[in-house]
Every structure is written in C-alpha cells, then in structure tokens.
Amino acid sequence: MFKIAVLASGRGTNLQAIIDKIKDGYINASIEIVIGSKEGIYALERAKKNNIKTSVVSKKEFGKETSNEILKLVENVDLIVLAGYLSILEGEILNKFKNRIINIHPSLIPAFCGDKMYGEYVHKAVIEKGVKYSGCTVHFVNEEVDGGAIILQDIVNVDFNDTYETLQKKVLVKEHIALPKAIKLISEDKIQIVENKVSIKEEVCI
C-alpha cells in the first residue's frame, strides 16, 4: 500500500480531509505518521483519534537539524505531505525525497507566495491588494520556497466585502478537495514532471 507521512503545524483540517478520503476509499493509501511542529496542536489529536502514529519535531528544540530529524522518521514512506506545515524543509530530505514531497499553499502560485507568505498573511495580502480571484495550489517541494512544480490549482472569487477570515474559509474548502486529489494522482502514478511542469496522465473525478 502507498504510504504517506503528514506534517502539520495547526488545526489539521487538511489532515482530516486526507483521513476522510482514505476512509471512504477515494485514496488507496495509509498515513504512517503525523509529525507536528510543536506540542499541543489539534492536528496531533486528530491523528491520535484515528490511531495514527504521531511525533513532534520542534524547530525550537532541533534548530538546523529539524529536517534531518524528520528524515529519520519518514525514510520508509512513499510521499511526504505538508498539510499546513509552516517550517521550511532543507538539506538531505529534499534529495532523498525529490519529487516526493508536496505542499498545499493558500494562493494561486506564483502570486502571494515565497518567504513570509503563509497562513493568514497570504489572505491579508490578497485582501489588501484587491485582486478578484485567489485560491489554492498543490505543488512539489524543492529548494526554492513555493518554487516546485505545480500539480493542481483551484480558484475562489474574492468579493469586495471579504475579510481575510472569510477568504480563508472559502480557500480551505478548495484545499480540502485539491490536496487529497493530488495524493490520489501521485499514488496512482498519474503524475509526470517535465521541465518543472506537471503533466497529469489521466484526470480523476473529485
């Protein structure tokens, strides 16, 4: 069976979306471990409620060795999924898991991405700029922050009266569909990367 590890830093709603899609048979995979960036986050509780192994790798504790500590825990999985994980992976893990780490970002990359663009800061920037559309992007992870090949994107309207909170809720709905879909495509070997662009061999129904 296709094995994944999920890294999270917060409430874990994207983790829950993955768990639900595995349970209903949409994704034929198992979550081998959920790694939290700190103690006390609700993502870890979600994992425990579903009998999934958990661990905490805190940057405060491990510093520059954080990515190496994570690598020790995930060496036997097929895919690493960053589901609201706020730290930057670096070093050997990027080499060993080249094209086997994916991330969900709450904007339409290349807009509103890169250094210091995460979580509510993305949505606040979108609102302040007054753009008419935003959305989410699932992409592969490489050495460049938010620079890996784009797998899937989905769009939401940004209404004049939207706040960053209301926009965040709209984007989350799309995230909860896109991230499991990307995992399904990868697990079924339907993704090909050519010159940092993703070709999907066969579209799947949501």
Residues with a known catalytic role: 105
Please tell me whether 103 is known to bind a ligand.
yes
> What 3-state class would DSSP assign to 170?
helix
DSSP string, 74-109: HTT-SEEEESS--SPP-THHHHHTTT-EEEEESS-T
Please tell me whether 14 is known to bind a ligand.
yes
CB under 8 Å to 141, separation ≥6 — which residues?
Answer: 80, 82, 89, 94, 101, 102, 103, 148
Please tell me whether 201 is known to bind a ligand.
no
Please tell me whether 12 is known to bind a ligand.
yes
d(CA 29, CA 41): 24
Exposure of 50 by Cβ count < 10 A (0-12 exposed, 13-18 middle, 19+ buried)?
middle
Give the residue ranges of the annotated binding site: 12-14, 64, 103
* Binding annotation for (6R)-10-formyltetrahydrofolate: 64, 103
